[in-house]
Structures are given as structure tokens and as C-alpha cells.
């Protein structure tokens, strides 16, 4: 049996049911799964703060980013999955670039933003794949992990659309 792959799911702000389902499914196939929730302590979800550009918030953002990224790099994922909404898309792109450089992992971008403007997402340099279908119905992360298991590099195109460069 091929070795299990390490798969990280990154979701910003709060637990998402769809991400939970996908992570659970991938884990049930024998892969190691990391769920990295990115807390946004100054958003309306947690603490209302009017001035998001204050020096204090900038320092807090840097600290939170550093801690989150360190934990992911230490996990050493083979596959990193992002679920994005439009408000978080740029953050996800920056984070994907940083993590790809540090780990060499393959990235999959899914979520509402990707479903809304897929043609804009697949041309981004830090996006390797996007699901062909949106939502939790897709099994893209599981199929991608199986493909990586076999040493075939990038995931099978059946359930994923490969990014264009």
C-alpha cells in the first residue's frame, strides 16, 4: 500500500461544514489531514474594530500569519486545499505562494469565489488546480491525494481543472 499523503485544508474565520466533510472523507481514506483555521480577530465575527489599518492590527496580523504558516510548514503537506470567498481570495493567493515556496505542495483552490470566476483563478501562479464542480459534492482533494500517492505528480484531471500558465 502506498504511503499516506499529508493534506492541509485552510479556511479563514470559522469552521466550515463543507471543509469538515472533505477533510473527514480524505482522512477516512487513510491520509493525514490538517485543518488550519485562520482566525481573523478583528473581523465582525470576533471583535468589532473600526480601524483595520492601525499599527496594532498590523502587528497582530503578522503574528497570526507567522504562527499559522509555521504550523503548516511543520506538518509538511503534499497537498494544500483552500476554500475561498471573494473577501479572502487575495489573502489565500499570498498564503499559497508562501506555502508553495516553503513546502513544494500542490494547491487546490475551491469555494464560492472560484465557482464565480473560475477563468480568473486558473491563471494565478500559485493555483495548481480548481474543482470541476463546486461545493462539498466534489471529491477533488481525495482524488488528488490518491494521484499523489502513486507518484504521478499532479492530480487526475477528471475531477479537477489544471491551472493554465
- In three-state secondary structure terms, 162 is strand
Tell me the C-alpha distance between 118 and 164, whole Å: 11
Helix spans in 39-162 (H): 55-75, 89-103, 112-116, 118-121, 140-149
Band (115; pLDDT cuts 50, 70, 90): confident
User: For 128-143, how does the pLDDT look when each residue is reduced to its tens digit (9 = 90+)?
Assistant: 988 876 544 555 666 6
130: CB partners within 8 A, 6+ apart: 108, 109, 110, 114, 118, 121, 122, 160, 161, 163
How far, in Å, CA of 164 to CA of 20, rounded? Answer: 29
The cell for 35 is: 485543518
Please tell me which residue, 19 or 93, carries the higher pLDDT value: 93
pTM: 0.79
Confidence of residue 66 (pLDDT cuts 50, 70, 90): confident
Q: Which three cell numbers stand for residue 138?
A: 466534489
Q: Which three cell numbers stand for residue 92?
A: 489565500
Question: What cell does 106 get?
Answer: 500542490
Q: Which of 29, 22, 12 is nearest to 148 (CA)?
A: 29
Q: Which domains does the chain have, with CATH numbers?
A: 6-162 (3.40.50.2300)
Task: Name the strand (E) or helix (H) holding 22.
Answer: helix 17-28
- Tell me if residue 153 falls in helix, strand or coil: coil
pLDDT in tens, 1-36: 567 899 999 987 666 788 888 899 899 989 999 999
Amino acid at each position: 500500500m502506498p504511503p499516506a499523503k499529508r493534506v492541509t485544508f485552510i479556511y479563514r474565520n470559522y469552521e466550515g461544514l463543507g471543509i469538515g466533510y472533505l477533510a473527514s472523507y480524505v482522512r477516512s481514506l487513510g491520509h493525514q489531514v490538517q485543518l488550519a483555521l485562520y482566525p481573523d480577530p478583528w473581523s465582525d465575527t470576533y471583535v468589532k474594530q473600526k480601524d483595520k489599518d492601525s499599527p496594532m492590527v498590523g502587528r497582530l496580523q503578522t503574528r497570526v500569519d507567522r504562527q499559522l504558516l509555521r504550523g503548516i510548514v511543520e506538518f509538511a503537506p503534499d497537498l494544500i486545499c483552500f476554500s475561498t470567498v471573494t473577501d479572502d481570495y487575495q489573502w489565500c493567493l499570498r498564503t499559497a505562494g508562501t506555502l508553495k515556496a516553503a513546502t513544494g505542495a500542490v494547491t487546490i483552490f475551491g469555494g464560492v469565489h472560484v465557482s464565480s470566476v473560475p477563468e480568473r483563478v486558473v491563471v494565478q501562479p500559485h493555483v495548481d488546480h480548481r474543482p470541476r464542480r463546486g461545493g462539498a459534492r466534489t471529491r477533488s482533494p481525495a482524488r488528488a491525494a490518491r494521484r499523489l500517492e502513486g507518484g504521478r505528480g499532479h492530480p487526475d484531471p477528471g475531477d479537477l481543472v489544471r491551472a493554465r500558465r
